[in-house]
Structure 1
């Protein structure tokens, strides 16, 4: 009996080791797959389109976006992405990159911001906003996230985002934290980063916008968050909502020091 127990314990230990090695191999395989795909990331096409849209005179006013202030002064793009969302004095709101771009398109070019916000993702001016966001994100590639969090509204949005992150609701009683609230979680072969802290360089908040290989689409952070709500069986919060901006503020502040690799490539 003594020997039987010893062999049972040895067998169980061996199985745990094999299981751990298999998981590690799966993660390594996915990482290698992404690295190979990154050599020809289709996001580069969206980057080129975004740069062209930034410089192109468009809209009812026939003006470019080159005087748009993304937080570092009119027309300054480099370094802006890794400091968003942030408070803007002219709108007196905390805005993320996409909602700020819509404000600039409205004030500088004469577009109807409300109509752009209502347009379906991937269509019309929404597709242009995604391309612009892709290029602007790429201009800060390799830089570290350092969101400002000193203005009262920035502090409020961070706290609202934190509450939303942990709020359980919907038909499945899910929250953002159900998947991204602790270390070591995975779904199928997909590692789930812990977004309550800095998850590491190029992970989570520091990887979007990203090109989705599975559906051949370019996804901004706004679309990523809307789809997370869909997966939780929540209603869509809609483009540029306070909820998505607050979640961006929460994750962005938590990602301080993480290196931006956006636009990345995802499965």
Structure 2
């Protein structure tokens, strides 16, 4: 009887493992099929047009915007962001850096853009720009700098924010992304406290969300994570969101960037 129970338990465990593997494999195949015609390409085209188009009160393009590799240099910039910038004396991610360029070069109001809901007005333009800029670094390896004291400080701040528990659910970022082998429904959750590998986690965003039919930047992704934790929404391009980007990005050093990726 005991041997029979052990055999049954082993069979059940094997069946469960097979089912989980099959679910993960099925999602991977689904993404592979969709990636061949990733709608993010439409956002990329819009973003490139916006980069070169003269707009705003100053009737200027963003072609002199310095994303960290010199004015106008886009290729390779995404995999080195967030980073410290001398002109603002701040560590900035892609979105906050674009706000700086849109205000200084084009005369647009960074504060007004930051207050605009996701997917509307200049926020929609921001996500298109993020899609194109990240695509220009596709295939490159994540390489966030840590040479400046502020970059190292923001990494430590991001680490604290990642593990901070609170809210009615007593959740933290680490509740979902702090160890191996976790999932929500059929969705595998990468461990972001260490290097998750090529095209996973930070190296995959921005991404096109099939479920909503929208392109999500990292700022929007983090905003939704806070919603799921039942935390108040963070301010757009606030220090905590940039710090989390530094923490995840540094941990992903050497991973291949595939952004903009495609998500469920």
Q: Give the TM interval when normalised to the shorter protein.
A: over 0.9
Alignment correspondent of 1:172:
169
Q: Distance in 2 between matches of 1:171 and 1:44?
A: 39
Q: Spell out the pairing of 1:198-237 with structure 2 (5 A cutoff).
A: 198-237=195-234
Q: Distance in 2 between matches of 1:247 and 1:5?
A: 51
Q: Distance in 2 between matches of 1:150 and 1:174?
A: 32
1:11 Cα shift? Answer: 1.1
Q: Distance in 2 between matches of 1:21 and 1:259?
A: 29
Q: Distance in 2 between matches of 1:177 and 1:35?
A: 28
Q: Distance in 2 between matches of 1:48 and 1:238?
A: 28
5+ residue gaps in structure 1? none
**Which of 117, 120, 139 is the matching residue for 1:120?**
117
Query: TM-score, with normalisation over the residues of structure 1?
Result: 0.98
Alignment correspondent of 1:149:
146
Q: Distance in 2 between matches of 1:14 and 1:143?
A: 44
User: Could you give the per-residue CA deviations for residues 196-248 of structure 1, whole angstroms, max 9, x where no partner exists?
Assistant: 01101111101100000001111000000000000000000021000100000
Alignment correspondent of 1:96:
93
Query: TM-score, with normalisation over the residues of structure 2?
Result: 0.99
Q: Distance in 1 between matches of 2:86 and 2:223?
A: 27
Alignment correspondent of 2:35:
38
1:150 Cα shift? Answer: 1.3
Alignment correspondent of 1:8:
5
Q: Distance in 1 between matches of 2:135 and 2:244?
A: 22
Q: Distance in 2 between matches of 1:24 and 1:135?
A: 34
Runs of 4+ in structure 1 off by over 2 angstroms are: none
Number of residue pairs aligned between Structure 1 and Structure 2: 264
| SS at 1:211 equivalent | strand
**Which of 52, 64, 73 is the matching residue for 2:61?**
64
Alignment correspondent of 1:184:
181
**Which of 22, 45, 48 is the matching residue for 2:45?**
48
Aligned-residue CA RMSD in angstroms? Answer: 0.5
Q: Distance in 2 between matches of 1:122 and 1:87?
A: 27
Alignment correspondent of 1:76:
73
Q: Spell out the pairing of 1:124-143 with structure 2 (5 A cutoff).
A: 124-143=121-140
5+ residue gaps in structure 2? none
User: Could you give the per-residue CA deviations for residues 157-204 of structure 1, whole angstroms, max 9, x where no partner exists?
Assistant: 000000000000001000000000000001110000000011011111
1:10 Cα shift? Answer: 1.1
Q: Distance in 1 between matches of 2:4 and 2:235?
A: 58
